Structure 1
């Protein structure tokens, strides 16, 4: 197993982690729409940081490596890896409940979330 880190600047950390992952996805996936903050800057930061994860991870992967992605912080990671040409098997496990379509519809980017999940093996 290889461990790698990714240093984020304050803006990326705030948008990706505090803003989108914990400010949008966590509340919505737990049926707490009243706690969600749908600022579009957060969504852009979330996608940007997942792209950075994919770029760094791709450099470390060997052809037979299995990528195991965990949780809502990294929902776009498989799609970002595929966009960069990654052909490795990718597993995805969501540790929180997936809400029904009606609740997901509250997320302005909900269509992207669905498409992202299709890229895991």
Structure 2
């Protein structure tokens, strides 16, 4: 099963739509999608080594814009969507404590994320939920 998927990704890496797909996957992964763009970026760079910088830039731009969406999800939807769950389970004090800790240690949390396999989307959404600048 994985071999056929790997072969399909390699075949698709040469096609023009692969560049758009790379951007979309990078964007979605930064905010809500569970599959990292590396699965698409690596075969594309192997098939088109002369375009490595362009492909890396497209992936980076998609990731940054997706991170902004993830932040917005946390910032705008934390209280409106998750608020009733938080209040229903009497978790408001814990959420308030989390927001205070993130306000104090947010920079360290973001830095540590870069050194660990913690998903980027969790940090962007948590940053937004804590209203971290």
TM-score by length of 1: 0.33
Higher strand share: 1
Structure showing greater Rg: 2
Higher helix share: 2
TM-score by length of 2: 0.31
